[in-house]
Structure 1
Amino acid sequence: MENKLIKTEIKNHVAVVTMDAPPVNAQSKDFIEELISVFDELNATPEVRVIVLTGAGKVFSAGADIKSRNSSREITADTYRHLRRAREAGFVIMESNKGVIAAVNGPALGAGMGLAVCCDIIVASDNAVFGLPEIDIGLMGGVRHTMRLIPQSLTRRMVLSGYRVPAAELFRRGIIEDCVPLDQLMPTAMKIANEIAKKSPMALKLAKRAINTVETMGLKDGYRFEQNLTVEMTQHEDSKEAMQAFLEKRPAVFKDIV
């Protein structure tokens, strides 16, 4: 997979996706289109079971590429095309049938924070900060995604004041999975990724579908939906292999078939 701004490496069922748009991984039109293309392609790659998203350099992503915006602020057809692209950058991550781990290596701001919070699991380096600076540059955005993870008072402080939350504070509050020194970030993310990559591809696909679907459902309907997925899973050969491996006290061997 050849890309200029989004680099991908696949090894042992784990795809590492690196945003590489110096100096701060700002999200231009080309950046977003490449990101969407990469995640769509990985979604259809059977050998990939989990994805790690990180940034090259000192910044995870500083958000939207302000320099590439229309300085006249005139509303045109391209305004709506840009809004649609920006939405899809987050949803292509959320809707992926692979688990996605954000390895946040530095500031994640605005749309950069949006990418991180759309991932399934977040680990961050201790120099990382998360922020919504839109109010300081005459823009809005990021509120709804942020509210999925972050409590009301802190979300409103971030939106109204531009407060940048240190990763250590989010870890203390139980909002992100880990906060580690920068040199331990990728090993930490890869450890989690490798644990996930050992699982059945079909089970992972159904689990991700359950996670995404039941989040907005009531308890009874959500549980019923999960039960139906369980029934679906038992018809797959991976289910039989998992049970047989458990009984024989050996590691399961799954095929990249979904």
Structure 2
Amino acid sequence: MDTSLIRTDITDHVATVTLDNAPVNAQSKDFMEELISVFDELNATPGVRAVVLTGNGKCFSAGADIKGRSKQAEWAPGEVYRHLRRAREVGFVIMEMNIPVIAAVNGPALGAGMGLAICSDIIVASTNAVFGLPEIDIGLMGGVRHTMRVFPVGLTRRMVLTGYRVPAEELYRRGLIEACVAPEALMPTAMDMARSMASKSPTAIRLAKRALNTVETMGLKDGYRFEQNLTVEMTHHPDSKEAMAAFLEKRPAVFGDDA
């Protein structure tokens, strides 16, 4: 992938996507477009079964490129709306992946940076990480709806209205992220989780991700019926027979890659 602000490595069916826009991985126009392109390509790459998203340096992502936003008055007509569309799609391209995304948050995840983590399937963080929505302090708005999908209402309101930065330890204590570990243990923790996902049937993982994304906004009965229909679809796939045979024979299952 020909990118300069996002680095990608694929090993053992796991793609590691590293935000690499020093010093704080601020999200400029080019950054957003590269990130969208990377995730679209990974979504269509055979053999990729899980993604780990992390940041280079001491910061996961400090959010929007404020220096670029300060020149908004100079933007061409319509560019504001194009920029807002890019900002939306950065989150949705992660959420809509057919494969799971683990955010390995190595440092501050602020504003749009926190949005990248929130839009991932699972968040693990180092003890250096903090999560915040500082828009109230810099004359902007954003992040409320995505945050309310994951965080409690009271905590979300505190973050939005005061700019409170939540330490990773607090989020882990509240059960809102899956791990809070020492910095040196962050990537091993994320990679162990990703490899566990990558060992499963690629078809089953994709159907499970589709179920998770779809039933979240459905009623109980409709959501359960949707899951049951996916179960029927899965039972017709060779991976289902291989998984059952491996279970009965007490051996690791061997799955082929889906295109």
Which residue in the other structure is 2:218 paired with?
Answer: 217
Q: Structure 1: which amino acid aligns with 2:246? A: A
Separation of aligned partners in 1, 2:79 and 2:122: 33
- The code of the aligned residue for 2:244 comes to M
Q: Distance in 2 between matches of 1:221 and 1:73?
A: 47
| TM score, norm. by length of structure 1 | 0.98
Residues 92-241 of structure 1 aligned to structure 2 (within 5 Å): 92-241=93-242
Shift of 1:73: 4.3
Q: Quick one: distance in 1 between partners of 2:190 and 2:126?
A: 10
Residue identity opposite 2:69 in structure 1 = R
Show structure 2 runs of 5+ residues with no match: none
Alignment partner of 1:54 is 2:54: yes
C-alpha distance in structure 2 between counterparts of 1:190 and 1:98, whole Å:
15
Partner of 1:31: 31
- Cα deviation for residue 91 of structure 1 reads 0.2
* Alignment deviations for residues 75-98 of structure 1 (CA, whole Å, 9 cap, x no partner): 830000000000000000000001
Q: Is the 8 A contact 2:72 2:80 kept in 1?
A: no
Cα distance, 1:154–1:250 mapped onto 2, change above 3 Å: same
Aligned Cα root-mean-square deviation (Å):
1.1
Q: Percent identity?
A: 76
Structure 1 unaligned runs (5+)?
none
TM (norm. structure 2) is 0.98
Give the SS at the match of 1:7.
Answer: strand
For 1:52-91, list aligned pairs within 5 A: 52-71=52-71, 73=73, 76-91=77-92
Q: Which residue of 1 aligns with 2:250?
A: 249
Question: Structure 1's 72 and 208: CA in aligned 2 closer, same or farther, altered over 3 A?
Answer: closer
**Is 1:13 paired with 2:13?**
yes
Q: CA deviation at 1:71?
A: 2.8
What is the total number of aligned residue pairs between the two structures? 258
Counterpart of 2:142, as a letter, is G
**In the TM superposition, what whole-angstrom CA distance separates every residue of 1:142-174 from its partner, at most 9, and x where no partner exists?**
000000111011100000000000000000000
One-letter amino acid matched to 1:118: C
Deviation at 1:74, TM superposition (A): 7.2
